[in-house]
Chain A
């Protein structure tokens, strides 16, 4: 069983739609959860960072963590064509800056104008 599972998609939605992306994980030691966005031919860039369970909102983006279910989500409201990218979930046990990240495969999202 992989440590992190993420549906690779692809996912195609119309502009303005609400997008839901999610990952499941098996390692209960994970406490730090991240969402990265990766545009084509670029490196991953941090989008959202959460510690332990709960919600975090940043503009049109909301990250949710449910540690009891080992399930994390990223919601994008009022999606825009510029949101078209691959979204990667990543996790670590002791802090994303100080140890290796474990990634999901990434979900490729296309937002159609």
Chain B
């Protein structure tokens, strides 16, 4: 069974540009999460989709971040315009709808904003 995949693995952009990150969850997982780890800090929650609906977006830092999950399958996270402080590793995770156990994480996208 394929795990959570994320694309791209790395992205280097200049301040003010736009970047779109993609996450493909494990097939059949209705829960999809985005997290971010800024250097030196802990992994922090950004938002949670249940199927195509945003269940919790309390962790989104500001309106420069836009997440979508069309059709309840893959998700995209767009940062526009990117700022220096957006640099970090963006993780996606997924889980079954009825799961009380864990989330399965992807390898992350390393974003560097110059």
CB distance from B47 to the nearest CB of A (A): 9
- Chain B interface (Cβ < 8 Å from any Cβ of A): 4, 31, 33, 35, 41-45, 48, 56, 59, 91, 93, 95-108
Report the interface size for chain A: residues with CB under 8 A from the other chain: 28
Pairs A–B under 8 Å by Cβ, sample size 27: A34-B102, A42-B108, A43-B105, A43-B107, A44-B105, A45-B105, A88-B43, A94-B100, A95-B99, A95-B100, A95-B101, A96-B101, A96-B103, A97-B31, A97-B95, A97-B96, A97-B102, A98-B99, A99-B48, A99-B56, A100-B33, A101-B45, A101-B103, A102-B45, A103-B35, A104-B42, A106-B43
Instruction: Look across to chain B and name the residue whose beta carbon is closest to the beta carbon of A5.
Output: B42
- Chain A interface (Cβ < 8 Å from any Cβ of B): 2, 4, 6, 32, 34, 36, 41-46, 49, 51, 88, 94-106
- Complex CA–CA separation, A6 to B43 (angstroms): 12
Instruction: Kindly list chain A residues whose C-beta atoms are within 8 Å of the C-beta of B106.
Output: 43
Instruction: Look across to chain A and name the residue whose beta carbon is closest to the beta carbon of B33.
Output: A100
Q: Would B99 and A97 count as touching, CB distance under 8 A?
A: yes
Instruction: Kindly list chain B residues whose C-beta atoms are within 8 Å of the C-beta of A102.
Output: 45
Closest 3 CB pairs of A and B: A97-B99, A95-B100, A43-B105
Instruction: Look across to chain B and name the residue whose beta carbon is closest to the beta carbon of A42.
Output: B107
- Complex CA–CA separation, A43 to B93 (angstroms): 9
Q: Given contacts A97-B31, A98-B95, A100-B59, is CB(A46)–CB(B45) below 8 Å?
A: no
Question: Which residue of A32, A43, A51 is within 8 Å of B91 (Cβ)?
Answer: A43
